[in-house]
Amino acid sequence: MPKEDRIIVEEMHQAIIDKETFDIVQDLIKSRTSVRTKTYDWLLKGVITCKECGKKLSVVPQKHPNKTTFYLRCNTYACNTQLHLCTPHSNNLEKVTNFVIEQIKKRCSEFLSEEQYSKLADSSRNKILKSKYNVQSELKILEKKARDINKIIDKLFEDKYKGLFEDEDFTRVYSKQIETRKGIEERIKQLEKMQEKEDSSIDINKLVKDFVNMKEITRTMLVSLVDKIEISESKEITIYYKFNILNMRKLEDEIEKVS
């Protein structure tokens, strides 16, 4: 039976593993999706992307007499070097990894600061509630737009059948509507993913404390907190966390605004 025709009823049997562990494993699997199989494994694999083109970054080894040094490289550039669709984004993997871990630990330490967090709590809660409301509102608007576009497309076919459209005009208008609908559908998926993350029952405090206290960071720890990492051509690194409260600006800046 096709997957779309199946009826799925959740929580009918006792789970083998808890939902938190299941979600973390699914994120690990997703982070490896569309990353080519290599003989090298590294902490940021499948998580770090090119800011300019959005594609994943891979690693390239440079062998020296005494050691091998790994460098990041944009996959768009690697696959289409002659077309100049992107730039190499060549960066020392070890230095980037150390910087990313340092920044995440710093952000987590800020979050755990009880004095600062207590002052920010009410403001943060309001921001999260407002974010949820905005997501829901945008979803409703986009879903209506998608329905309207479907009606337009149906009408186009009717008019084409009646001979009211030349082939060239029909193709032009139809392609434009399809492109618009595709953009709307992609945005809807993004918003639905945001809702799922916000509704997650994962204990953020525990994840943050574990990350701060862990001497050696694992991929499981990393993907539990981080959604993606972008690195620009100018070597600027931006970390996007899975929880809105971690994506806020530095706590001290927020406290100044609140007070």
**C-alpha to C-alpha distance for 87 and 108, rounded to whole angstroms:** 32
pLDDT band at residue 110, thresholds of 50, 70 and 90? confident
> How is residue 249 written in tokens?
């600006």
- Residue 128: what pLDDT? 55
- Residue 133: what pLDDT? 63
- Residue 239: what pLDDT? 92
Domain contains 9: no
Q: What percent of the chain has pLDDT over 90?
A: 14
Domain contains 5: no
Domain contains 233: yes
Q: Which residue has the tokens 């995440």?
A: 104
**C-alpha to C-alpha distance for 37 and 146, rounded to whole angstroms:** 37
Nearest to 24 by CA among 229, 219, 195: 219
Residue 57 has pLDDT above 60, yes or no: yes
Cα distance between the two ends of the chain: 59
- Residue 38: what pLDDT? 47
- Residue 44: what pLDDT? 92
Residue 179 has pLDDT above 80, yes or no: yes
Lowest-confidence region among 55-64, 110-119, 160-169, 246-255: 246-255
The pTM of the whole model exceeds 0.85: no
- Residue 253: what pLDDT? 42
Residue 118 has pLDDT above 60, yes or no: no
Residue 15 has pLDDT above 80, yes or no: no
Residue 250 has pLDDT above 50, yes or no: no
Whether 42 and 59 have beta carbons less than 8 Å apart is answered as: yes
Mean of the per-residue pLDDT values of the chain? 78
Domain contains 99: yes
Q: Which residue has the tokens 């001979």?
A: 163
- Residue 36: what pLDDT? 47
Residue 30 has pLDDT above 70, yes or no: no
Domain span at residue 119 reads: 16-258
Within 8 A by CB and 6+ apart from 139, the residues are 188, 191, 192, 195
Q: How many distinct structural domains can be found in the chain?
A: 1
Residue 80 has pLDDT above 80, yes or no: no
Domain contains 179: yes
Domain contains 47: yes
What is the DSSP annotation of 56-114?
BEEEEEEE-SS-EEEEEEEHHHHH-GGGTSS----EEHHHHHHHHHHHHHHHHHHHH-H
Domain contains 10: no
Domain contains 32: yes
Whether 132 and 198 have beta carbons less than 8 Å apart is answered as: yes
Lowest-confidence region among 37-41, 42-46, 180-184: 37-41
Residue 226 has pLDDT above 70, yes or no: yes
